[in-house]
Amino acid sequence: MAEDEEKFPFDINPMYEGERVRKAGMYVELGGQNKPGFELVLFEPDPEQIKDGEVSLIGPDLEDMEEGGNFAYAMIYKVYGEQIEKDLEAVIERRNHEYQSYIQGYMHLNQRAEIWVRISKEAVKKGLKSLKQIGKATIMLFKAELPFIEKMEATFITDEEEVERRLEEAIRIYEARDVKTRGLHDEDVDEFYQCTLCQSFAPTNVCVVSPDRIALCGAMSWFDSRAAARIDPEGPNAPIPKGECIDPIGGEYTGVNDAAVRLSSGEYDSIKLHSFLEKPHTSCGCFEVAGFYIPEVDGIGWVHRGSKVIDTPIGLPFSTIAGSVGGGKQVKGFLGIGIQYFYSPKFIQYDGGWRRVVWMASDLKARVVEAIPEEMKDKIATEKEVKTIEELREFLQRVDHPVVKGVIRNVDGERITEGWAAAAEAAAKVPPAVVEEGVSSASQVPLTSIPMMASGAGGNSPIRIILKDADISIGKIIVKRKEGKDGRGG
C-alpha cells in the first residue's frame, strides 16, 4: 500500500475522514443538490469480464473543468470475488464513502443517488489532475480493506447526459434491493445487525438494521447487512441477537438495548426501533430523511435531503433541521430515517404511524405516495397547502386529521393522544394578554398564542421548545397564577 500511495499526489489516511471542503476552498463540486450523481457497485460473476484495477472516464476530466463549477458525477464499480454474492453489492457500495473520505482534499458525502463530492483547490495545486487518480486510489483502498474483492474495475462519468441515462438504471437497481426486504419482518428473524461505519464522526451513534427498519442512510437493508456479517462476523455489521422483545409496538428488544450500551459506550441503554418520541433511534449524519415533531399540532413533519422545498412550516430548511437530528444522539422530537422506512408496516407505529404525520415536503410525499394509507393521503399537508404553523392548524382542522381529535393507534387500537381541538377552542376564548410597559416590540407576541400541547404517546412526554435565530428582549415579565373564573390571582 505504501508503494502505491507514493504514486498519488495526495495523502491517503483515515484521519481525513470528516474533512470538509468549504466553498471558498473548492476547486469543483460533483453531484450534490444541483447536478445528478450516483454511486453503484455491481457484482460480476465472470472474472474474465473485469479488467482489474482499470479506471475509465466518460466526460470531462478535472483539467477540463472550470474552477468553481458543478458537474454531474457517477461512480460505477464492477467487483468479483469467490466469496462475493449479490447481497454484498450494497455493502461494498456503502464503503465508497468511507474509503474516498481517506483521500486528502476530496470530500465525499451521502450515498446512492444523493452523492455530493467536492475537490479542494489545494489538492489540485498539489498535482491532482484526473478523476482516474481518485478511482485508482479508491480501488486500492477497497482491495486492501476488503480482501474478498479479488478483481475490481471502475467507470467514472462526468458527462451529464450519460449520468442521467445510467441513473435511471441505478434507481431500478436500488429499488429492487429495497423491495426485497418488504416481505420479511422483525418477528421473522432471530438477529438484527449493527452498523458502526459512521462512528468515526458520530462516536455514540447506534445503527440497528432490522427487516422492518432499513438503515437510516438507506444504503443497508437487513439482507445486505446479513451478507456483510457472513463474510466478516466481527466486522462493522456484526449480528445483534434480538433477545427478548420488551415492547412489540415500539420495537424494543433486550439484545438491541445491550448493543446500545456497548456501541454508545454507555451513552444510551435502550432504543425503540419504531418510535419517534420515546427512546428514538440515534442518527449519525447520513439520514435520507429528517423528521421533526411540531408541538403546536402534536404531529410530525418530514423533509428529505435533496428536497427542492426550502422552508418547512417550522420555518427551518433541511440543513438546519439536520443539525438537530444528527451527531449520533438520541434526540426527542427529531429522527433520521431511510426513505424505505416509510414503506415499513411498523413505520413509527409507537407514535401512531401515518396517523401522526401532518406535513411532508411535496417532492417527498410524491416519491413515497404509495406508502401512504389511502385515508391519510389528503390529510397530510405540503408546502403547497401551508406555509406557516397557523395555516397548518387550519388545514388539519379542515381535513379532520386524527391529531385534531386524538390519535388512535392502528396496531393496538389504543388512544395515544388527546387531540387539540378542544384545547384550541378554549384557547380561542381566552382574552389576549396585556403587554406590560417596558416590553420591547420584538417580544410583543401574546404568550397565550403559543400552543402548549402535550406531546408523545400518552400525552405526558416533556415539552421542549427550541428557539433558533430568535431575537427576544424582555424588559419585564409578569407571571400570574390564574385563580378565579375572571382570571384574577397572585
Amino acid at residue number 214: I
Q: Evaluate whether 118 touches 16 at the Cβ level (below 8 Å).
A: no
Print the binding letters for residues 264-293 with ligand SF4: x by CB under 6 A, - otherwise: --------------------x-x-------
Name which of 94 and 409 has its Cβ closer to ligand SF4. Answer: 94
Q: End-to-end CA distance of the chain: give it in Å, rounded.
A: 76
452 three-class SS: coil
Binding mask 67-96 for ligand SF4 (x = CB under 6 A): ---------------------------x--
Cell 413515497 belongs to which residue? 368
Phi, psi of 164 (to 5 degrees): -60, -45
Residues 410 to 449 in contact with ligand SF4, rule: CB under 6 A: none
Nearest residue (CB) to ligand SF4, 155 versus 199: 199
Binding mask 148-187 vs ligand SF4 (x if CB under 6 A, - otherwise)?
A: ----------------------------------------
Interface with ligand SF4, residue 322, by CB under 6 A: no
- Helices 131-145 and 89-100: crossing angle in degrees, nearest 10, is 120
- Site pattern 184..213 for ligand SF4 (x: CB under 6 A): -----------x-xx--------x------
- Nearest residue (CB) to ligand SF4, 219 versus 294: 219
Distance CA 454, CA 153 (A): 56
Number of residues that bind ligand SF4 (CB under 6 A): 12
* Residue 78 · residue 50 · CB < 8 Å: yes
The residue from 30, 90, 131, 217 that contacts ligand SF4 (CB under 6 A) is 217
Q: From the list 88, 109, 220, 309, which residue makes contact with ligand SF4 (rule: CB under 6 A)? A: 220
Cell reading at 273: 426501533
If one asks whether residue 113 binds ligand SF4 (CB under 6 A), the answer comes out as: no
Shortest distance (Å) from residue 73 CB to ligand SF4? 20
Nearer to ligand SF4, 27 or 347 (CB): 347
Q: How far apart are CA 382 and CA 361, in angstroms?
A: 5
Provide the grid cell at 28.
Answer: 469543483
Rule CB under 6 A: say whether 139 interacts with ligand SF4.
Answer: no
Nearest to 73 by CA among 41, 109, 99, 37: 37
Strands (E), 61-178: 70-71, 73-80, 106-109, 116-120, 151-157
Residues in the site for ligand SF4, rule: CB under 6 A? Answer: 94, 195, 197-198, 207, 215-217, 219-220, 284, 286
